[in-house]
Structure 1
């Protein structure tokens, strides 16, 4: 495995400055934001697709520091019921796929998106309960009319460009659990896989280790985000895991995102890393920093230091004791 970082945490810095800083910390791979919610400060497809010299310069900047690019990430809602919003996210994703091919990066990280509940809706609708039965009708309509048709076409587009999608299972989108990820993969094909982020599993009440086991059986893990979640045992009884309070209200929320080791101990993270290897994932462990209690620098440094204790780098080799 390689230790990586999702560089959007340093969007205010140049790519060169960011890579220098990460290289000094021993980071081996970077995940670059290319549009949508995360922006494209370090990797703008509109510029890079039309300028081969800039593409070569980007690759050289990464490779000259002994790093690789683990994925291009374009997080958006391409299924948003307002056509203008959906189209912008779609254009960013399509450009990202084309750029990934040009940069020889095989994986694009994104969200599944979330439609409305009928043609003409203005806002997305996230059904998460089977009753009242209206929610079942909404769920079926979304998947049959929006989710599967869109990703079937995008899957064909990605395959044409030799790229695969790693969908981040995130609450508020159609694909948010191992079950919904595999539902879409079954319908579309192996061009669809998972970007496993334990932080989103924990706050939905899912054990990340079991999620890895379930997805690993299907060879469906294409990328991994390293981010932690702390669940407040008092606040969760008041607000529940679907807490709608702002992330800024950290003292009152049922849960908040934390840097590695500040939500779950390092034994838990060691078990996660071990399970990843057990199911055959030996790719990049990409740190995503969204800890509201730490500065970007301190949060990242703690994450790097803690992950170094548990990440498994060397090939297994022969079991001499067997």
Structure 2
């Protein structure tokens, strides 16, 4: 397994400076944003697709730092009901898949998207309760008319380019649990899988270790984010898991993100890494830092320090004791 980082943290740094910094910390892989919510500070998809010299320079700079690319990420809502939002997201996803193929990168990360509740809706509609039955009707329409047709097409497009799609299980989007991840995969194809982030499991009340087992048995983990979270139980009692309190108002929130080791202890993270390995994931653990109590440098550095001791670097070749 390799330790990586989602470089959106360092969007204010030039590409070469970012590579110098993360490699100096012992990072072995980078996850690069190509647009959408992560931005494209370090990976301009149009330039790299259309300029072979720029592509070669880009690849050389990464290899000179002894780094690999774990994924290209273009998180956005390609199923947004407004075309002016959805169409650029779809175009970006297609370009990112093409670029990943050209670079030999195996995974493109994004969100599943969330449609509206009818053809002329203006905003996404995220049903989270089975009753009143209106919500079931909305959910049925979203999956049958939007999610499955769209992702079946993208699954086939990704397969044609020898790329996998990692959907981040994230609240506010249609795929946010292991169950609806596997539902979409079953309907659309095996190129669709999870970019699993344990922080989004914890706040939904899902044990990330069990989520790894559920998805791992189906070989449905395509990428993994390392981010922690903490539950503030008094605020949870007040606001519930679907807390709409602004992320900046941390004192009032039911849950909030922490850097690795500051929401859950080292043993929990050792169990997460070991379970990933148990279920056949032997790829990159990519640090994502969104801790409102620490600077980027401190939060990233502590995540590296806390993950390095629990990373599994060498697989057993032979069980000499059995």
- 1:318 is displaced (CA, Å) by 1.2
In the aligned structure 1, how far is the partner of 2:159 from the partner of 2:321?
43
> Which secondary structure does the structure 2 equivalent of 1:32 belong to?
strand
In the aligned structure 2, how far is the partner of 1:154 from the partner of 1:321?
46
Which residue of the partner structure matches residue 117 of structure 2? 117
Which residue of the partner structure matches residue 172 of structure 1? 172
In the aligned structure 1, how far is the partner of 2:25 from the partner of 2:261?
18
Does the 8 Å CA contact 1:216/1:279 hold for their aligned counterparts? yes
Which residue of the partner structure matches residue 227 of structure 1? 227
Which residue of the partner structure matches residue 135 of structure 1? 135
Question: Which blocks of at least 5 consecutive residues in structure 1 are unaligned?
Answer: none
Which residue of the partner structure matches residue 49 of structure 2? 49
Which residue of the partner structure matches residue 247 of structure 1? 247
- 1:128 is displaced (CA, Å) by 1.1
- 1:162 is displaced (CA, Å) by 1.4
In the aligned structure 2, how far is the partner of 1:274 from the partner of 1:156?
32
Does the 8 Å CA contact 1:107/1:164 hold for their aligned counterparts? yes
> Which secondary structure does the structure 2 equivalent of 1:49 belong to?
helix
- 1:166 is displaced (CA, Å) by 0.8
In the aligned structure 2, how far is the partner of 1:251 from the partner of 1:55?
45
Which residue of the partner structure matches residue 107 of structure 2? 107
CA deviations on 1:229-275 (whole Å, 9 max, x unpaired) are 01111111111111101100011101110000001111111110010
- 1:89 is displaced (CA, Å) by 0.8
Which residue of the partner structure matches residue 78 of structure 2? 78
- 1:15 is displaced (CA, Å) by 1.1
In the aligned structure 2, how far is the partner of 1:143 from the partner of 1:46?
31
Q: CA RMSD in A?
A: 0.6
TM-score (normalizing by structure 1): 0.99
> Which secondary structure does the structure 2 equivalent of 1:53 belong to?
helix
In the aligned structure 2, how far is the partner of 1:185 from the partner of 1:237?
34
- 1:280 is displaced (CA, Å) by 0.3
TM-score (normalizing by structure 2): 0.99
In the aligned structure 2, how far is the partner of 1:159 from the partner of 1:278?
26
Question: Which blocks of at least 5 consecutive residues in structure 2 are unaligned?
Answer: none
Counting only pairs closer than 5 Å after superposition, residues 202-221 of structure 1 correspond to structure 2 as 202-221=202-221
Which residue of the partner structure matches residue 306 of structure 2? 306
- 1:58 is displaced (CA, Å) by 1.1
Any runs of at least 4 consecutive aligned residues in structure 1 with deviations exceeding 4 A, and if so which?
A: none
- 1:164 is displaced (CA, Å) by 1.0
CA deviations on 1:17-72 (whole Å, 9 max, x unpaired) are 01100111100000000011110010010111100111111111111111100000
